Structure 1
Amino acid sequence: MELLDDTIVPEHARDVKQEASEFANEYIEPNAEEYFRKGEYPHDILEAGQDAGLVAQDIGEDLGGRNLSLTEVLAIAEEFYRADAGIALTLQLASFGAEIVEEYGTDEQKEEYLRPVAEGDQITGLAVSEPETGSDLAGMQTTAEKDGDEYVINGEKFWIGNGVEGDWLTLYARTGDDENNRYGNHSMFIIPTEGEGYHAEHIPEKMGFRASKQAHIVFEDFRIPEENLVGTEGAGFWMLAEFFNHGRIVVAGHGLGLAAAAIEETWEFIHGREEFGRTINEFQAVQHGFADMRMEFESARALTWRAAEKVEQGEDPGLWAAMAKTKATEAATDCAEQGMQFHGGRSVLTDRRIARVYRDVRVPVIYEGANEIQRNLIYRQS
């Protein structure tokens, strides 16, 4: 059963999909249980991914990357997440937010900050969410106040990938307070992850995605030069909105990979587990449950790849990205839950792949905009 076959994948993305599959089979899958159990940051696998040209390679060729398209990044995502979600997220977060700098930054910013990431010498991240604010982008309270030729940053950020490990981050901060222009009060900045007033620590251990580390960051009069502003002041909300249209397609790939993992593990188990003198796949209830898993997966994958094409072409990108993200991540949740049920008591053993998948699927339905928010977007843009 080849769930992630490439017949649905555009021809130009098939080579990198094969590269990702081979890398996942060699580096990610064999180490998944160990990294999940230890909850450690997979530095060695990240380095191997950089050497293989599979990390941060959507950055342009002129800056040292491969200029991978959205569909190519999606192809990598479903392969990596089938192998292990925590390690996969670490690999994909290494350049998270760099796309904003490439799209809106100056030539000097791109050369100084993006080239080292594309060449595997640095990693970065995106700092948006806050302790009390997640999906409400216009409600973020971390401030960046102009003081001469500098900006002074104060506030907190939460759930920030590479907040500790990263060399620099793209920061979303409030630069205005116009009640009549709620979506024009925020801007994007490049910030180094060192210096007086920058404090970051890992968030306490999570139940899933344990090989991926997120940080709680506190800014106390942290100063950056004005040239670290990305694009124009007040345009941050719109930059993020466009960025998340692409990001949500990739998150749909996260869901597809997790769903595939749940289905594979379940198929193997139901053909090997005996009850009442026969393997449990012979029971009609099990067959119907597995049929539902397969249908949910295939419908989610068809929608996701169609949505990826729509977003690349700029055809209602917000609508299609929201639909794909919601459908694929919820399909993963459904498949993992059904797989757990079929595994019975063994499902709760922490060394079981299905148990890891079950924990991990709780995360993508929330990040990059909780699915309740996605349904709002789908309705408004239909």
Structure 2
Amino acid sequence: MNLLDDSVVPERARSVKERARAFAADHIEPVAAEYHASGEYPWEVLEAGMDAGLVAGDIGEQWGGSGYDLLEQLAVAEELYRADAGIALTLQLASFGCDIVERYGSESQGETWLEPVAAHDQISGLAVSEPDTGSDMAGMTTSAEETDEGWVLNGEKYWVGNAVEADWLTLYAKTDDGEKAHGNYSLFVVPTDAEGYHAEHIPEKIGMRASKQGHIVLDDCVVPESNLVGERGAGFRMLADFFNKGRVIVGGHGIGLAAAAIEEAWSFVHDREAFDRSIAEFQAVQHTLADMRTEFEAARALTWRAAEKVSHGEEPGLWAAMAKLKATEVATDCAERGMQLHGGRSILAENRISRVYRDVRIPVIYEGANEIQRDLVYRQSG
């Protein structure tokens, strides 16, 4: 069963997709269960991904990266997430936030921050959410005060990928108190070795355990004035554009996870017998698998269409929200149905379907909870 075929993938994205599939088979699938059980950061797999050209590929060639466009990134995402979501997220987050610095930052910032990540000498991260605020980007309280010494940052960030492991982060902070809340926020490059930067891993997660998120405390953390990315007060707008692309890629997360759930369910019901016949012979089982396949294909077609739309700037907010919403919820549904088809075996931690079941709970939340995506779809559909 080859659910992630090339039929909807543009020609230019097929070679990197093939490379991602081979890498996943050789480096992710054999160790996925082990890393999920241990919850350790997969440094060896990350380094192998760097050697394979599958890490930081989104950084432009000007800075030493591969310059993968959105469709190439989507092609990689669905293959890696099919193999294991936690390891795949680690590989993706190694350059998280770099796109913002590349698009809106200065040439000096590109040389200082992007080139080391593209060369695989450093890894980055993006700090937006806070302990009490996730999807409300106009409600963040972490502050940045402009002083003679530079920008002084105070506050907390939560759910930050690579908060401990990264060399630097792109961080979202409040710089003004104007009436237009969306114009009160800016973005900064924050080195993780800066004085006043403190980070620790959050407690163990039920899913995507090979990816590490952290809790950051900023206590009079000073960064130079030159670390402001783009214009002061433009942080919300820059993030909104960044998330349009990111949500399409998260659609790829859902597609990969859904494919894994369907594959596991199909294999199980065709190998197991009950009442003197294969489970796959029961019509109820066949209908369940038919529904899973149909919803999967609908989600994948929408996600790839959304990638084209966003790439061309055609209602990007609408299409990104629909792709993220549909693909991640199809993944959740496929995992649930797959668990049911596995019966009692589904709850065994050693079974891949149980790992997928736990992993799918996370993409419906990150990069904007799906309730927010429904708001966006409605508001932009008129």
Query: Same fold, TM exceeding 0.5?
Result: yes
In structure 1, the residue matched to 2:166 is 166
Match of 1:54 in 2: 54
**Aligned letter for 2:89?**
L
The equivalent of 1:211 in structure 2 is 210
State the number of aligned residues: 381
Provide Cα deviations, 1:57-85, integer angstroms capped at 9, x if missing partner: 11111111011000000000000000000
Q: Any residues of structure 2 matched to 1:113-124 within 5 Å, and which?
A: 113-124=113-124
Letter aligned with residue 314 of structure 1: G
Q: Report Cα offsets for 1:252-287 as digits up to 9, x if no partner.
A: 000000000000000000001111001110000000
**Match in the other structure for 1:193:** 192
Quote the residue 1:272 is aligned against.
Answer: 271
In structure 1, the gaps of 5 or more residues are: none
- Number of the residue aligned with 2:260: 261
What is the deviation of 1:150? 0.3
Deviations, residues 213-257 of structure 1 (Å, cap 9, x unaligned): 000000000001100000010000000000000000000000000
Describe how 1:92-131 pairs up with structure 2 within 5 A. Answer: 92-131=92-131
Query: Which residue identity is paired with 1:54?
Result: L
RMSD of aligned C-alpha atoms?
0.5
Q: Which whole-Å CA distance do the structure 2 matches of 1:85 and 1:141 have between them? A: 31
1:43 is aligned to 2:43: yes
| Equivalent residue number for residue 341 of structure 1 | 340
In 1, Cα distance between the equivalents of 2:133 and 2:270? 45
Q: After superposition, give the CA deviation of every residue in 1:26-80 in whole Å (9 maximum; x if it has no partner).
A: 0011110000000000000000001111101111111110110000000000000
Partner SS state of residue 22, structure 1: helix
In structure 2, give the amino acid aligned to 1:140: M
Q: Secondary structure at the match of 1:30?
A: coil
DSSP-derived class of the 2:29 partner: helix
**Could you tell me how far apart the structure 2 residues matched to 1:207 and 1:130 are?**
20
Aligned with 1:59: secondary structure? coil
Report SS of the residue matched to 1:219: strand
What is the match of residue 311 of structure 1?
310
SS class of match (1:188): strand
- Following TM superposition, by how much is the alpha carbon of 1:7 offset from its aligned partner in structure 2, in angstroms? 1.0
> Aligned partners of 1:42 and 1:259: how far apart in 2?
23
Q: Is residue 253–residue 328 contact of structure 2 (8 Å, CA) maintained in 1?
A: yes
SS of 2:57's partner is: coil
Name the residue aligned to 2:300.
301
Counterparts of 1:224 and 1:165, CA distance in 2: 19
Aligned equivalents of 1:295 and 1:176: distance in 2? 49
**Partner SS, residue 304 of structure 2:** helix
Query: Structure 1 segments of 4 or more deviating over 3 A?
Result: none
Instruction: Kindly report which structure 2 residues correspond to 1:44-83, keeping only aligned pairs within 5 A, or say none.
Output: 44-83=44-83
TM superposition score normalised by structure 2: 0.99
Task: Show the counterpart of 1:231.
Answer: 230
Letter in 2 for 1:122: Q
SS at match of 2:75: helix
SS in 2 for 1:156: strand
1:315-353 alpha-carbon deviations (Å, 9 max, x no partner): 000000000000000000000000000000000000100
The alignment partner of 2:30 has SS state of helix
Is the partner of 1:331 in helix, strand or coil? helix
Whether the 8 Å CA contact 2:82–2:259 is kept in 1: the answer is: yes
Deviation of the 1:149 alpha carbon: 4.3
Q: Give, in whole Å, the separation in 2 of the partners of 1:29 and 1:115.
A: 30
Amino acid at match of 2:164: V
Distance in 2 (CA, whole Å) between partners of 1:207 and 1:67 is 34
Segments of structure 2 that go 5 or more residues without pairing to the other structure are: none
Where does residue 30 of structure 2 map in the other structure? 30
Q: What TM-score results when the alignment is normalised by the length of structure 1?
A: 0.99
The one-letter amino acid of 1:150's match is: G
The answer (yes or no) to whether the contact 2:194–2:223 under 8 Å persists in 1 is: no
Quote the offset at 1:196 in angstroms. 2.0
